[in-house]
A and B are shown apart, each in its own frame.
Chain A
Amino acid sequence: MAPPTETGVRTLFDANRLLVLILGLPVLAGMAGIALPAFGYLPALGESQFTLDHFAELSGQPHILRSTLTGLAAGLATTSISIAIVGTFLAGFAGTPVFSRIQHLVSPLLAVPHAAVAFALAFLIAPSGLLLRLISPELTGFARPPQWLVPNDPLALSMIAGLVAKEIPFLFLVALAALPQLPLRQSRQLTAALGHGHVSGFFVTLWPALYRQIRLAVLAVLVYSVSVVDVAIILGPQLPATLPVRIALWTADHELSARFLASAAALLQLAVVAVAIASWFLMERLGKIALARMTASGRRIRNDTLLRLASAIAMAATAVLTFLGLAALGLWSIAGLWPFPNNVPTHFTPQTWLRSMPQLGPPLRTTVALAISAASLALLIAIMLLNRNGAAGGGGKAIAYKSLYLPLLLPEISFVFGLKILIIAAGFEPAFATVLAAHLLFVLPYVLLSLSSPWRTLDPRFERIAAGFGKSPLRILITVRLPMLLRACLTAFAVGFSVSVSLYLPTLLIGAGRLTTIATESVALASGGDRRVIGVYALVQALLPFLAFLVASLGPQLLFRNRRAMRT
């Protein structure tokens, strides 16, 4: 669809440039906000001498190398495992009935916040967790919890598991969106005729094109898991913690020098992310060579039943374990005394909920207010941008839309901390508006990603007819396009809402304790150890996005009671 008119003003405020402005400026400002203090320059604290002392101090921190490497390795492992499982499953099952069944099982997981998934997993796999309780003492002989070091194991395995459980649904749904653009059926027929099994046939023919489409999302997963803080606090190693967690601690240190140290470390984290991306590129290259070898060799893996089965089990297990974990959270939230190895509590009590209710109120209100504001604002901006430019993916314009990924491809601990320093230096209070602005940075990309595909696929003839009736572009937008895209808009809103609900670090750093949300409260409780209260908070956090999606799916039904065709 061509833009209605082309004027000088329009090109000046070209949507791509606007997007770069909205997302790029704060991110780059944030990077500057840590780069200068890292080298000792922070006039607000009376330091304007450039120095490398803070990097020397950083390198003198105990076990800093181990912290850095653990986080890096965990991120690379998470991304490799997630993409391997999702890729194999797509290859093995795309277009089959099993596929849609697993799709229905996995899709809701996307809405569950990272922290809630991490808690769910922790409640399952701990030595005193639900899984061992279910089989003890009958199968294991354990009358008391065994001395196993999970979660929080030094190799970060439980943290990787928690991240994989959350990234699989994300990568899966991103790939799902790209799948219709591939000639799946034809390729399946062709490769089957050539004697390939499902998996090898898919990888030889379709994988390169599919991977190209989801590559940015994969990199976003990589950057996120290398830099994650909340999941690392809940499931990650503690002796020493990963680098991002330690940076988060330093940002809160009461010694002034720690702010410089944190800046230097945040810059180090940026370097870690760069190394991670470089390693990933290398792995991509190796993968490409291997795939080319396999293709050229003509080897056909006919019998891939085991491989397919394994990938399907892995996909299903992610969903089942997460839901089982959420059930465990629910059970603990109403548990009285629950000694090991009992499968269920000795008695149930609403006491934890009743006691938590009043405390839950203010952060819950803040969470919902932030999420609604951020999602609405993001939706408005997304509609504005899309309306100016048409959808992403249209030829050369698509490239500039990659700035969407900017906040997702840089470590948030780095640039959000930089923003915090700038905000303090500028004398702003930690307030709703500043936290909202920080949320928008993360919410907008997802809202835009979610909305741009339906925006693009809407049949342009509806609007042409309206234009033929002499309606103005704005009128066409409001009376034709938006009502027809209502469901897509509501879904994008729900996506934005759930992203905002799950944001931990931006809320913690920019809100500075003044603005608490369910996310910051629940992660703060992670060290508190009271499973009942954690159960309440994590459950509330997990339920909020579901409510948003429920509203999104019911909205059209209510609004278009009298227009059946509009309800889909």
Chain B
Amino acid sequence: MIGWAVKIAAALLLACGIAGGAVAADPGNWDKVVAEAKGQTVYFNAWGGSESINAYIRWAGEEMKARYGVSVVHVKLDDTAKAVATVVAEKSAGKDDGGSVDLIWINGENFAAMKRQNLLFGPDWATRLPNWRYVDFETRPTVLADFTIPTEGLESPWGGAKLVFFYDSARTEAKALPDSAEELLTWAKANPGRFSYPQPPDFIGSSFLKQVLIELTDDRGKLQKPVDEESFAADAAPLFAYLDRLKPFLWRQGKAFPQNYPDMKQKLADGELDIIFAFNPAEASSAIANGELPETVRSFVFSGGTLGNTHFLAIPYNATAKAGALLFADFLLSPEAQLRKQDPKIWGDPTVLSLDKLPAADRSAFESLDLGVATLRPNELGPALDEPHPSWMTRIEAAWIRRYGAPN
């Protein structure tokens, strides 16, 4: 009997210890985080639609295993909302610890939703990561305000993004390329069927809608605030008038849409589309390196600016391996991991670090990185337009689906 009691007590203590440890993960005491993380498995919920990104995550996971004894499992999502749904379901089932999601690749409306519903691990852990000291939050305001929502250290920046257009210079004349949404419409009229955008609510497709909205609205300040239901119809009217005019000149006359960026990339390679766009300036160079696009593909942006933002990593409040998740988020922020990420042969995602803050060796490594033949230099990328408040994206997507969801 006594033996049993001791065993049960020990098991209870052990259970409390593990549970307590998960809750107590404190970025202020980094040595303890590293010690706790050892042996943990981090379920990293991240979009899995790109092979090069998956390969990068796999590399990072292997490094984590070798250096810290942390296993990383990439849960491949086709939509980040699914990871959010999992956490919501767990919270509603009363599962406040031992959750199945440890780290989420996130930004925009998903971050806003999780923050609003208190589903995020906090308070401020991101700015207390050891590698935060290199982060460029001075010239990159989107590191601190994700789609206008203050990040407050609830998510750690991972990469930068900017809307960039690609075309095949062997087919399309550089002189004729559009320099604004309005010119894009003119170009589409001259080249019917050779432009389209991914079907909202695809992230890239919705971003295109926002780009047009920002360009056509007469009051950009309004977009930085939540949608005003009273005036939404009037505010969005220029966007939908534009889309109505564009529709007959879209690929398949707008009766179908590409499903996402990789789909557009395939269609550029097949010759179905002539102008496509992505959120990663190095995408075209990566695709050329992978043999997915011909070597004649080049990039361009609008001189008036294109949408720019930052993508992040967040930890759910009920994550099982919080220490492991902190350690992994910090590793992904390290100059080494960020350098590898920016290499177009690997992924080509722009760094969130400030080169000025880096040690000399790391800085020169970044500077000597060959960005690839189709990638614009940082100074050629043009101004970045701020993301509207997330409520705009939600409302525009819903309105788009209602309007164009069934072709006639």
Judge if A528 is at the interface, Cβ distance under 8 Å.
yes
Q: Are A145 and B256 in contact (CB under 8 A)?
A: no
User: Which chain B residues (73-106) contact chain A, with CB distance < 8 Å?
Assistant: 75-79, 81-86, 88-89, 92-93, 95, 100
* B170 (CB) vs chain A CBs: closest residue: A339
Q: How far is the CB of A290 from chain B (nearest CB, A)?
A: 36
* B85 (CB) vs chain A CBs: closest residue: A254
User: Which chain A residues (10-54) contact chain B, with CB distance < 8 Å?
Assistant: 44-46
User: Which chain B residues (11-51) contact chain A, with CB distance < 8 Å?
Assistant: 43, 45, 48-51
In the bound complex, what is the Cα–Cα distance between A62 and B397 (angstroms)?
Answer: 12
A562 neighbours in B (Cβ, 8 Å): none
Q: Are A147 and B252 in contact (CB under 8 A)?
A: yes
Q: Are B113 and A359 in contact (CB under 8 A)?
A: no
Partner of A44, one of B82, B92, B253, B293: B92
Judge if A291 is at the interface, Cβ distance under 8 Å.
no
Q: Are A513 and B86 in contact (CB under 8 A)?
A: yes
B93 neighbours in A (Cβ, 8 Å): 44, 424-425, 427
In the bound complex, what is the Cα–Cα distance between A161 and B269 (angstroms)?
Answer: 27
Judge if B220 is at the interface, Cβ distance under 8 Å.
no
Judge if B292 is at the interface, Cβ distance under 8 Å.
yes
Judge if A358 is at the interface, Cβ distance under 8 Å.
yes
B43 neighbours in A (Cβ, 8 Å): 514
Partner of B199, one of A238, A258, A337, A356: A238
Judge if B395 is at the interface, Cβ distance under 8 Å.
no
Convert A139-182 into 0s and 1s, putting 1 for each residue whose CB lies closer than 8 angstroms to a CB of B: 00001110101001110000000000000000000000000000
Judge if A527 is at the interface, Cβ distance under 8 Å.
yes
Judge if B110 is at the interface, Cβ distance under 8 Å.
yes
* B110 (CB) vs chain A CBs: closest residue: A254
In the bound complex, what is the Cα–Cα distance between A240 and B88 (angstroms)?
Answer: 27
Sorting the interface of chain A by its residue count into under 10, 10 to 19, 20 to 34 or 35 or more gives 35 or more
In the bound complex, what is the Cα–Cα distance between A387 and B258 (angstroms)?
Answer: 54
Q: Are B259 and A529 in contact (CB under 8 A)?
A: yes
A337 neighbours in B (Cβ, 8 Å): 269, 291-294
Judge if A349 is at the interface, Cβ distance under 8 Å.
yes
User: Which chain B residues (386-406) contact chain A, with CB distance < 8 Å?
Assistant: 401-402, 404-406
Q: Are A238 and B272 in contact (CB under 8 A)?
A: no
In the bound complex, what is the Cα–Cα distance between A66 and B401 (angstroms)?
Answer: 14
A259 neighbours in B (Cβ, 8 Å): 89
User: Which chain A residues (101-145) contact chain B, with CB distance < 8 Å?
Assistant: 127-128, 143-145
A340 neighbours in B (Cβ, 8 Å): 270-272
In the bound complex, what is the Cα–Cα distance between A193 and B391 (angstroms)?
Answer: 77
Partner of B271, one of A128, A529, A533: A128
Judge if B54 is at the interface, Cβ distance under 8 Å.
yes
B270 neighbours in A (Cβ, 8 Å): 128, 145, 339-340
Q: Are A63 and B405 in contact (CB under 8 A)?
A: yes
B407 neighbours in A (Cβ, 8 Å): 154, 239
* B95 (CB) vs chain A CBs: closest residue: A427
In the bound complex, what is the Cα–Cα distance between A46 and B89 (angstroms)?
Answer: 12
Q: Are B291 and A529 in contact (CB under 8 A)?
A: no
In the bound complex, what is the Cα–Cα distance between A530 and B255 (angstroms)?
Answer: 22
Q: Are A239 and B291 in contact (CB under 8 A)?
A: no
Given contacts A147-B252, A252-B79, contact A528 B49 (CB under 8 A): yes
Q: Are B272 and A254 in contact (CB under 8 A)?
A: no
Q: Are A513 and B51 in contact (CB under 8 A)?
A: no
Q: Are A530 and B258 in contact (CB under 8 A)?
A: no
Q: Are B255 and A149 in contact (CB under 8 A)?
A: yes
Q: How far is the CB of A377 from chain B (nearest CB, A)?
A: 26
In the bound complex, what is the Cα–Cα distance between A152 and B263 (angstroms)?
Answer: 13
Q: Are A524 and B78 in contact (CB under 8 A)?
A: yes
Given contacts A527-B260, A528-B263, contact A239 B50 (CB under 8 A): no
Given contacts A424-B93, A529-B266, contact A254 B82 (CB under 8 A): yes
Q: Are A239 and B271 in contact (CB under 8 A)?
A: no
A128 neighbours in B (Cβ, 8 Å): 267, 270-272
Judge if A531 is at the interface, Cβ distance under 8 Å.
yes
B291 neighbours in A (Cβ, 8 Å): 336-337, 347, 349, 351
Judge if B257 is at the interface, Cβ distance under 8 Å.
yes
Q: How far is the CB of B80 from chain A (nearest CB, A)?
A: 9
B172 neighbours in A (Cβ, 8 Å): none
Q: How far is the CB of B357 from chain A (nearest CB, A)?
A: 34
Partner of B406, one of A153, A239, A521: A239
Judge if B265 is at the interface, Cβ distance under 8 Å.
yes
Given contacts A359-B54, A524-B76, A531-B266, contact A238 B252 (CB under 8 A): no
Judge if B186 is at the interface, Cβ distance under 8 Å.
no
* B258 (CB) vs chain A CBs: closest residue: A529
Q: Are B78 and A527 in contact (CB under 8 A)?
A: yes
Given contacts A45-B92, A512-B86, contact A62 B405 (CB under 8 A): yes
Judge if A313 is at the interface, Cβ distance under 8 Å.
no
B272 neighbours in A (Cβ, 8 Å): 127-128, 144-145, 340
* B398 (CB) vs chain A CBs: closest residue: A62
In the bound complex, what is the Cα–Cα distance between A153 and B262 (angstroms)?
Answer: 20
Q: How far is the CB of A128 from chain B (nearest CB, A)?
A: 4
Judge if A256 is at the interface, Cβ distance under 8 Å.
yes
Judge if B153 is at the interface, Cβ distance under 8 Å.
no
A66 neighbours in B (Cβ, 8 Å): 406
Q: Are B82 and A513 in contact (CB under 8 A)?
A: yes
Q: Are A238 and B294 in contact (CB under 8 A)?
A: no
A483 neighbours in B (Cβ, 8 Å): none
Partner of B77, one of A63, A513, A529: A513
In the bound complex, what is the Cα–Cα distance between A324 and B62 (angstroms)?
Answer: 39
Judge if B193 is at the interface, Cβ distance under 8 Å.
yes
Q: How far is the CB of B268 from chain A (nearest CB, A)?
A: 10
In the bound complex, what is the Cα–Cα distance between A352 and B48 (angstroms)?
Answer: 16
Judge if B55 is at the interface, Cβ distance under 8 Å.
yes
Q: How far is the CB of B117 from chain A (nearest CB, A)?
A: 9
* A67 (CB) vs chain B CBs: closest residue: B406
A-B contact pairs, 6 of them (CB 8 A): A238-B257, A351-B291, A524-B48, A527-B260, A528-B262, A529-B267
**Contacts beyond the supplied A252-B85, A254-B110: 16 A-B pairs with Cβ under 8 Å:** A145-B270, A149-B255, A238-B257, A239-B199, A239-B404, A240-B406, A254-B81, A337-B292, A340-B272, A429-B100, A514-B75, A524-B76, A527-B49, A528-B263, A529-B265, A529-B267
The 8 closest A-B pairs by CB, nearest first: A529-B263, A128-B270, A254-B84, A529-B262, A527-B259, A254-B85, A63-B406, A336-B291
